[in-house]
Structure 1
């Protein structure tokens, strides 16, 4: 049972619409921009942002998928003795000299984003990397910040943020749970 629902379906839609406009404004359009979703929920958010950006700009923006499993620094603690499940990245465009917008659902310690940047740099050399997240909950362990944020939700160490999307969970909301 969630302690609180902090974003409902409409609030998520509004946040993504605002982030879409901010991406366009910050980059002075979408020329040479690529959205890259971090698996799993980041991909669905990147696809939604791409759809909104195309509605606003009248032209499509490229979207890629990034699997950071093998780049995580907590791989041994997360997977115990089992082999990690690698789903594979799918970035069907050249990212050299492109403006990359990494997309994820929640920004917490910053370690996922660091792993994503390592994975991207192994694929190519972007002109710049920006970060868009639906929720920033604080508690950073690395000096990483988001460029585009749907909602800042300060949390305690005993709480966790759960993002549920229609694509994976059959409904849409962001909730706070007690650990």
Structure 2
């Protein structure tokens, strides 16, 4: 555990492994890594994957603008709905289609950073890549996620990670963000053997 990192705390519905300050630090670090990898922000755009990936993308855009004042956070941020590209629609055919909104500057020839909250099997990101391919031809596509919990089913790996979080497949990881959920930012794991009242 890094100095200053929040100690895991028990909650009614799981164990909090990242608190609000941890989430903030992780996003700041990811923003700096994006700038370093892209050698600036000139061609960088952010596409958030609903729901919480959109919020995270907006926060990252704000941080990129703080690093480079020429970065227009509003014009360089969008959201990418992947519903119709998922390979599990036959199992959940009632999924509602969301909104895709490209950044004002477009994605053609840009470095697109896909942003999601939790990376798990990789199937959501595969769907995002398929959706992106129908919208334009970026120069490069990168992936940023707040939490990588492992258990990949496809050869997909993130370029920028807030926290690598080893989990069991029976566990559930939930990201809470103030803009979307009640209360403070947090990453919570439910289903661990040491959770009070957890289902085993």
The answer, yes or no, to whether TM exceeds 0.5 is: yes
Is 2:117 aligned against 1:101?
no
Question: 1:125 is paired with a residue of what secondary structure?
Answer: coil
Give the Cα separation in 2 of the matches to 1:66 and 1:85. 14
Question: 2:59 is paired with a residue of what secondary structure?
Answer: helix
Give the Cα separation in 2 of the matches to 1:24 and 1:158. 36
Give the Cα separation in 1 of the matches to 2:125 and 2:168. 21
Higher Rg: 2
Q: Which residue of 1 aligns with 2:133?
A: 121
1:96 to partner: Cα distance: 1.2
Question: 1:24 is paired with a residue of what secondary structure?
Answer: helix
Give the Cα separation in 2 of the matches to 1:93 and 1:39. 20
Determine which of 123, 133, 158 is the counterpart of 2:170: 158
Determine which of 44, 48, 56 is the counterpart of 1:45: 56
Q: How many aligned positions are there?
A: 176
Determine which of 164, 167, 175 is the counterpart of 2:179: 167
Q: Which residue of 2 aligns with 1:4?
A: 15
1:36 to partner: Cα distance: 0.4
1:1-179 equivalences in 2 (<5 Å): 1-59=12-70, 60-61=72-73, 62-79=76-93, 82=94, 84-91=95-102, 92-171=104-183, 172-178=185-191
Give the Cα separation in 1 of the matches to 2:22 and 2:92. 32
Question: 1:119 is paired with a residue of what secondary structure?
Answer: helix
1:75 to partner: Cα distance: 1.2
1:2 to partner: Cα distance: 3.3
1:93 to partner: Cα distance: 3.3
1:167 to partner: Cα distance: 1.2
Question: 1:117 is paired with a residue of what secondary structure?
Answer: helix
Which portions of structure 1, spanning 4 or more consecutive aligned residues, are displaced by more than 4 angstroms? none
Give the Cα separation in 2 of the matches to 1:27 and 1:158. 37
Q: Which runs of 5+ in 1 are unaligned?
A: none
If the length of structure 1 is used for normalisation, what is the TM-score? 0.95
Give the Cα separation in 2 of the matches to 1:93 and 1:54. 15
